[in-house]
């Protein structure tokens, strides 16, 4: 029996590609844009599945794949996918949000503690020999006594909320509609920001959330307010954040994602009130392995195939 044709649209670990090749006829989307049209003309009509990572999936690409049944994405975010167009075609769309939720939530809590207790600067303080000259380090903030607002309560947001409960933090949240959870819901982000000492962003990037955190939200958070972003960089209006920091209208931020990453403005890199990490929310050996396994297993199950780990 001829195996289904699968489009590799983005880099995947070698072992995962080996597993896919054992199950499918795998064809890889060319890296050179000039080669894509002839490639799709040749292979597009036969492609029934897609293993996706970062590649833009728009209407033009979908039109070249008339037999496409499923997209399995090696990520939680789907901002590179025209989700409405995919749904309109009835194409199954899978991501790895459940797989990476725990590690991203751990990163959010780590960033929150680093921010509230000023751990990065405290480390530098000791390493630079300042302790003997200044016995009392400046006081931090107590996470358990803060009002924390979570923006977006999907798999990652819920995992963060569970962890915050262990710190006795008071947690509320904002999203487009209420959910059956035992946490206060705010109908708009300005309301949540006014009621919070700390905002943690976990929402997906979309037209509705692009620059969701703007000057007005930062002002609502206030001059003692703190911001943590482990969602997507463009959820925050980066220039508005830089201005708010320069004018003392917000106390600090911890950012794992940036509007134009990997480029990070000097104004952010040089501000000691910030904790900055290079988009490492899900970057553990175990979770990245699990994400790739999910891509392979989802595709195999859709076509009724048995992968090597299920054999």
List residues with catalytic annotation.
232, 261, 279
Residue 139 per-residue DSSP state: P
Angstrom CA distances, 49 to 69, 146, 251, 265, 305, stand at: 6, 46, 47, 39, 13
Classify residue 183 as exposed, middle or buried by CB count within 10 Å of its CB (0-12, 13-18, 19+): middle
Which alpha helices (DSSP H) does the chain contain, by range? 14-23, 33-43, 59-63, 83-88, 97-116, 119-127, 155-166, 189-194, 215-221, 238-246, 266-269, 285-302
Q: Rounded to the nearest 5 degrees, what angle is found at the Cα of 94, between the Cα atoms of 293 and 26?
A: 60
Angstrom CA distances, 197 to 169, 179, 242, 251, 265, stand at: 11, 23, 19, 10, 25
């Amino acid at each position: 029996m001829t195996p289904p044709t699968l489009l590799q649209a983005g880099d995947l670990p070698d072992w995962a590609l080996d597993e896919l090749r054992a199950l499918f006829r795998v064809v890889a989307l060319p890296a050179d844009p000039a080669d894509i049209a002839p490639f799709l003309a040749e292979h597009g009509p036969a492609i029934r599945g897609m293993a996706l990572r970062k590649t833009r999936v728009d209407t033009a690409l979908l039109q070249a794949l008339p037999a496409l049944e499923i997209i399995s994405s090696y990520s939680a975010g789907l901002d590179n996918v025209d989700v409405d167009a995919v749904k309109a075609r009835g194409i199954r769309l899978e991501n790895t949000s459940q797989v990476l939720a725990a590690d991203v939530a751990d990163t959010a809590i780590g960033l929150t503690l680093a921010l509230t207790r000023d751990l990065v600067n405290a480390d530098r303080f000791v390493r630079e020999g300042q302790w003997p000259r200044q016995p009392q380090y400046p006081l931090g903030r107590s996470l358990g006594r803060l009002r924390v607002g979570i923006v977006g309560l999907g798999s990652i947001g819920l995992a963060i909320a569970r962890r915050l409960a262990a710190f006795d933090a008071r947690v509320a949240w904002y999203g487009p509609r209420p959910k059956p959870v035992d946490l206060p819901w705010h109908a708009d982000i300005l309301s949540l920001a006014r009621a919070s000492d700390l905002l943690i962003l976990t929402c997906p990037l979309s037209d509705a959330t692009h620059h969701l955190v703007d000057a007005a939200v930062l002002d609502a958070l206030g001059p003692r307010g703190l911001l943590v972003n482990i969602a997507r960089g463009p959820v925050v209006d980066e220039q508005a954040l830089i201005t708010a920091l320069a004018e003392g209208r917000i106390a600090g931020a911890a950012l794992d994602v940036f509007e134009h990453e990997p480029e990070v403005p000097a104004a952010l890199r040089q501000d000691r009130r910030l904790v900055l990490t290079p988009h490492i929310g899900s970057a553990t050996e175990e979770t990245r392995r699990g994400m790739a396994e999910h891509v392979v297993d989802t595709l195999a199950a859709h076509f009724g195939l048995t992968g090597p780990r299920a054999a």
